[in-house]
Chains A and B, each alone.
Chain A
Amino acid sequence: MSVSQETVRVLERLTVAPGVCELVLEAPSLATALRPGQFVMLLSEAAGAPYLARPMSYFRRSTDTISVLFKTTGSGTRHLAGLMPDSRLRVLGPLGRPYRDPAPGEVWLVGGGVGVPPLYDWALTLRQSGHRVVAVIGARTSAELLAVEAFAQAVDECLVTTNDGSAGRRAAAADVLSDAAKTVYACGPVGMLRAVQHWASGRSVPTYLTLEAHMACGFGACLGCTVEAAHPDPTLGAYGRYLRVCQEGPTFLAEEVTL
């Protein structure tokens, strides 16, 4: 389906954890069109709202709703977190490339902090297509763990890690990756992604990293969301140094990008 922008209604606003909010949006056509790994741009036209739209992976979806899960970090997310049910948002999507299919064998999903949302619907999809799925949900501390119960129900095995040991294993999420993993999908803070990238180097396990970036447009026009290419296309000269997170991503093979 081609990209469109529609005005949708906020159905529910759930406070999932302190400073973390889930907005459920009535968006039937997007709920059908979005594929796991894609994202949307959320734009509020309310007074005082930021000028640009916010890129967000979708978290859950039903037949006619999608939800987004995010932490309040700046003025944009603070505004979104303050939206009451029945407010309206404009949503542009679907954007970005969907997840690429896994290799045969066990699939590991590694979500750190507020990086878990895009992995959830992918977990459901992978299970439906018969893959054994292991999820690693990590955070600095137990209070920052997100969606553990949802993942525990969705996957075959769910491992929890915290840096301070307040829940699950005292470890960084990337540290519990095992050779049982035949494909890895990771989304989270850049430090975690670098650790996953490090784990993947020297292994022939397809490892996909979903990146976040400052974005103005979300559809490839502004060149604002670039990431350095690890192996620039030599035919492009200097132009090949950067890839667009919104267009070539948001998910890259670990060896494709320099973080």
Chain B
Amino acid sequence: MSAQAVSVGGLSLKNPVLVASGTFGYGREFAPLFDLSRLGGIMVKGVSVTPWAGNAGVRVAETESGMLNAIGLQNPGLQHFLDVDWPWLRRFDTAVVVNVVGHSVAEYVAVTEAVTAAGVGAVELNVSCPNIADGLVFGTDERALFGLVSAVRKVTALPLIVKLSPNTSGPLPYARAAVEAGADALSLINTVLGVAIDRNSGQTVLGNRTGGLSGPAIRPIALRFVLEVAAALPVDLIGMGGIATAQDAVSFLQAGAGAVAVGTALFRDPWTALRIIDELPAALSTAGYQTVDEAVGRAVRQERERRDGRGRS
């Protein structure tokens, strides 16, 4: 195993840098730019059981240090993924994680069953998209989340990852529910709900009114979620939220993530994930680590001691 290789929730990655769902399509737009096999993994855009159109009107708006999106999970659907995208993607030597979206437990189960049979690397349940009408139902209701993850767990032996929402008072109840229901790993975090107002019209910029904030603006929020869950639960984490440099990646590892995903930064520079992969060994070594695993959770022990100390007092 090379010093870069890691395992997260039973998913083996050649390096700890993935690309985040919704920022990489199914890889096709990036393939002319670089060899996708260099990536630790690809978390593909959400796949639903039938094709989804996505939202009408303006879908992206800029903010300082980030962006708001209200795409609405536009995707060509399961059959298209199985017939077109997966046969093309599987040629690359990288872990393919299928992000699964749905309006009901049955839809999540159907997509998970089908992609499991197709032989993808892992499943990531998107229970936290703020841009569809019922997108937050599973992510903000512990019992609904437990039910969903339990149902999906029954139909797949693949590494099962649950992507949690930051639009809650805190991650722990949801993280616990997901883990108790059988999740192997958690992705932290999805986008943060926000609004942009047009200075001229005084109206919301986005067609959907609200959108999901991503980019460096949310990095501290994501780090907090990772640190809090890492300190409380023995579950593997994939950290994401505003990662744009190797140093950002190291911070997430130290906070307790076993791997990281690069998202919005890919829009301003599609080569960002590659640069992080290239620069990570030096960034780790500067921080005094020989391997990725040595860095993981350096901040967690302190967090646990702080918490336990407070618990005793």
Binding site for B on A (CB under 8 A): 2-3, 5, 43, 50-53, 74-76, 90, 92, 214-217, 219-226, 228, 236-242, 247
Q: Which residues of A contact B264 (CB under 8 A)?
A: 51, 216
What is the bound-complex CA distance between A9 and B239, given in angstroms?
36
- Total interface residues on B, CB under 8 Å, equals 41
- Report B35-76 CB contacts with A as 1/0, cut-off 8 Å: 000000000000000111110101111111111010100111
Closest 4 CB pairs of A and B: A224-B60, A237-B51, A239-B51, A241-B53
Can you report 19 A-B residue pairs in the complex whose CB atoms are below 8 A from each other?
A5-B270, A51-B216, A51-B264, A52-B62, A74-B199, A75-B62, A216-B264, A217-B29, A217-B267, A219-B270, A221-B266, A222-B71, A223-B25, A224-B59, A238-B50, A239-B52, A239-B80, A241-B53, A247-B29
| Interface: B24 (CB within 8 A) | yes
Q: Which residues of A contact B51 (CB under 8 A)?
A: 236-240
Q: Given A43-B268, A221-B25, list of 18 further CB < 8 A pairs?
A: A2-B33, A5-B271, A50-B62, A50-B64, A52-B268, A53-B268, A92-B270, A215-B60, A216-B267, A217-B267, A223-B25, A223-B59, A228-B56, A237-B77, A238-B52, A239-B53, A239-B76, A239-B80
- Report B263-288 CB contacts with A as 1/0, cut-off 8 Å: 01011111100000000000000000
Q: How far is the CB of A181 from chain B (nearest CB, A)?
A: 32
What is the bound-complex CA distance between A217 and B265, given in angstroms?
10
What is the bound-complex CA distance between A241 and B33, given in angstroms?
27
| Interface: B291 (CB within 8 A) | no
Q: How far is the CB of B169 from chain A (nearest CB, A)?
A: 28
What is the bound-complex CA distance between A242 and B32, given in angstroms?
23
Within 8 Å by CB of B29, from A5, A51, A220, A224, lies A220
| Interface: B30 (CB within 8 A) | yes
Q: How far is the CB of B173 from chain A (nearest CB, A)?
A: 32
Within 8 Å by CB of A237, from B50, B71, B215, B267, lies B50
Q: How far is the CB of A75 from chain B (nearest CB, A)?
A: 8
What is the bound-complex CA distance between A65 and B75, given in angstroms?
39
| Interface: B23 (CB within 8 A) | yes
Q: How far is the CB of A25 from chain B (nearest CB, A)?
A: 18
Interface of A is mostly: loop
Q: Evaluate contact between A223 and B71: CB separation under 8 angstroms.
A: yes
What is the bound-complex CA distance between A175 and B76, given in angstroms?
40
Q: Evaluate contact between B269 and A5: CB separation under 8 angstroms.
A: yes
What is the bound-complex CA distance between A75 and B67, given in angstroms?
14
Q: How far is the CB of B242 from chain A (nearest CB, A)?
A: 10
What is the bound-complex CA distance between A98 and B266, given in angstroms?
24
What is the bound-complex CA distance between A136 and B55, given in angstroms?
35
Q: Which residues of B contact A43 (CB under 8 A)?
A: 268-269
Q: Which residues of B contact A74 (CB under 8 A)?
A: 199
Known: A52-B268, A222-B267, A239-B77. A216 touches B33 (CB 8 A): no
What is the bound-complex CA distance between A216 and B23, given in angstroms?
10
Within 8 Å by CB of B32, from A3, A224, A239, lies A3
What is the bound-complex CA distance between A215 and B65, given in angstroms?
16
What is the bound-complex CA distance between A223 and B207, given in angstroms?
14
Q: How far is the CB of B43 from chain A (nearest CB, A)?
A: 13
Known: A5-B271, A216-B69. A223 touches B54 (CB 8 A): yes
Q: Evaluate contact between B58 and A214: CB separation under 8 angstroms.
A: yes
Known: A215-B60, A239-B80, A242-B53. A221 touches B29 (CB 8 A): yes
Q: How far is the CB of A44 from chain B (nearest CB, A)?
A: 10
Q: Evaluate contact between B52 and A51: CB separation under 8 angstroms.
A: no
Most buried by B among A3, A51, A219, A241: A51
What is the bound-complex CA distance between A249 and B282, given in angstroms?
41
Q: Evaluate contact between A214 and B269: CB separation under 8 angstroms.
A: no
What is the bound-complex CA distance between A3 and B266, given in angstroms?
14
What is the bound-complex CA distance between A205 and B264, given in angstroms?
41
